[in-house]
Amino acid sequence: MNAALAILNDVKSRPWAMAADLLEAHVADLQRLAVSVSDLADPNALGSDAPDDAVGYELHDGVAVIPIVGIIRKAVPWYYSYFGIAATSTLAVRNALATAMEHAAVRSILLIIDSPGGSVAGVQELADAIFDARDAKPVSAHVSDLCASAAYWLGSQTQFITANASAQVGSIGVYTVLYDEAAWFEKNGVKVIVEKTGPYKGTGVSGAPITDEQRKPIAEIIQGLGQQFIDAIARGRGAAPDDVATYATGRTWLAPEAAEIGLIDEVANSDLVLARLAADAGDTFAGEQLMLRKKKAADGSAAADTGQASADDLATAQAEGAAQSVERLKALEGRFEGDEDFARECWEAGMTDEQVTDAHYTLVCERVGTLGQTLSKVKIDHAAALEAKDTEHAEAIQAKDGEIAELKAAMAGAGAAPVEKPEQAAAPADAVKAYNEKFAALVQAGDQRPAATIADQFPALQAAYLAAANASETPVPAPSTAQKPDGDVPDSDGEETT
For 175-234, what is each residue's pLDDT tens digit? Answer: 888 888 889 998 999 988 888 898 888 888 888 888 889 889 989 999 999 999 999 999
What is each CA distance from 373 to 143, 365, 370, in whole angstroms? 47, 12, 5
CATH superfamily of 3-178+215-299: 2-enoyl-CoA Hydratase; Chain A, domain 1 (3.90.226.10)
**How much is the average pLDDT of 271-283?**
75
**How much is the average pLDDT of 391-405?**
73
**How much is the average pLDDT of 66-80?**
89
- pLDDT band of residue 248 (cuts 50, 70, 90) is very high
The residue ranking higher by pLDDT, 52 or 260, is 260
pLDDT at 54: 58
Q: Which of 20-29, 88-97, 369-378 has the highest mean pLDDT?
A: 88-97
Least confident of 29-33, 244-248, 296-300, 353-357: 296-300
pLDDT at 180: 87
Alpha helices in 134-211 (DSSP H): 150-155, 182-187
Enumerate the domain spans of the chain.
3-178+215-299, 311-351, 352-416, 428-497
**How much is the average pLDDT of 408-415?**
64
pLDDT in tens, 452-461: 888 888 888 8
CB 126 within 8 A of CB 154: yes
pLDDT at 69: 94
Rounded (to 5) percent helix, strand, coil in the chain: 55, 10, 35
Q: Which of 383-387, 409-413, 449-453 has the highest mean pLDDT?
A: 449-453
d(CA 135, CA 138): 8
Alpha helices in 58-174 (DSSP H): 78-83, 90-102, 123-133, 150-155
Alpha helices in 300-310 (DSSP H): none
pLDDT at 168: 94
**β-bridge pairing 139-148 and 160-163:** parallel
What is each CA distance from 411 to 133, 442, 447, 455, 456, in whole angstroms? 105, 13, 12, 21, 19
CB 127 within 8 A of CB 97: no
d(CA 347, CA 68): 32
- pLDDT band of residue 303 (cuts 50, 70, 90) is very low
- State the first-to-last Cα distance of the chain, in angstroms, to the nearest integer: 150
Least confident of 113-122, 274-283, 452-461: 274-283
- pLDDT band of residue 398 (cuts 50, 70, 90) is confident
d(CA 8, CA 4): 6
- pLDDT band of residue 173 (cuts 50, 70, 90) is very high
d(CA 421, CA 365): 61
CB 173 within 8 A of CB 227: no
pLDDT at 189: 92
d(CA 283, CA 273): 13
pLDDT at 496 over 90: no
Q: Identify the H or E element spanning 163.
A: strand 160-163
Q: Which of 91-95, 384-388, 438-442 has the highest mean pLDDT?
A: 91-95
The residue ranking higher by pLDDT, 98 or 336, is 98
Packing angle of the helix pair 353-413, 340-349 (nearest 10 deg): 150
**How much is the average pLDDT of 337-342?**
85
Chain-centre distance for alpha carbon 167: 27
pLDDT at 362 over 70: yes
Question: Within a 10 A sphere around the Cβ of 355, how many other Cβ atoms?
Answer: 16
pLDDT at 43: 46
pLDDT at 66 over 90: yes
**How much is the average pLDDT of 444-456?**
87
Q: Which of 150-154, 192-196, 431-435, 479-483 has the highest mean pLDDT?
A: 150-154
CB 150 within 8 A of CB 119: yes
Average pLDDT along the chain: 77
Which phi and psi angles does 167 have, rounded to 5°? -70, 150
Nearest partner of 351 among 433, 281, 292, 261, judged by Cα: 281
pLDDT at 243: 93
**β-bridge pairing 108-119 and 63-73:** parallel
Any bridge partners for residue 223, and if so which?
A: none
The residue ranking higher by pLDDT, 413 or 393, is 393
pLDDT at 73: 92
pLDDT at 24: 64
